[in-house]
Amino acid sequence: MPPVCAFQVPAVYGDVSVVDERFVETAHDAGIAVHVWTINDPGEMHQLLDVGVDGLISDRPTPLVQSYANGTAPGTGLVETALAATAVRLLTVVGLLLGAHLALHGSL
């Protein structure tokens, strides 16, 4: 088992593209998931999903939920679509609750 379960990285750092097919493939070969932040552009969301990332962190998940709901997201079978849309909604709620908690209390 690898010492980490996921790389959480930006898609780009300065002029350097961090996440590409090779990065994702290498991480997956090592048993490590790839989560990319902060992705707010629907086109970039789809591009990263096409590359095979395991998770996207976004301030604006609604376009991704909509693309799963209408079946236009990459790799969307019926079951995968329903599960992914539910997961994105749940993560959105968790993010909103954490944000509200931080705003009220200043820390976790």
pLDDT digits (tens, 9 = 90+) for 64-98: 777 766 666 665 544 455 556 556 655 665 666 66
What is residue 44's DSSP assignment?
H
pTM, to two decimals? 0.66
At residue 61 the predicted structure's pLDDT band, cuts being 50, 70 and 90, is confident
pLDDT exceeds cutoff 80 at 99: no
Q: What share of the chain is helix, strand, coil (3-state, %, to 5)?
A: 50, 15, 35
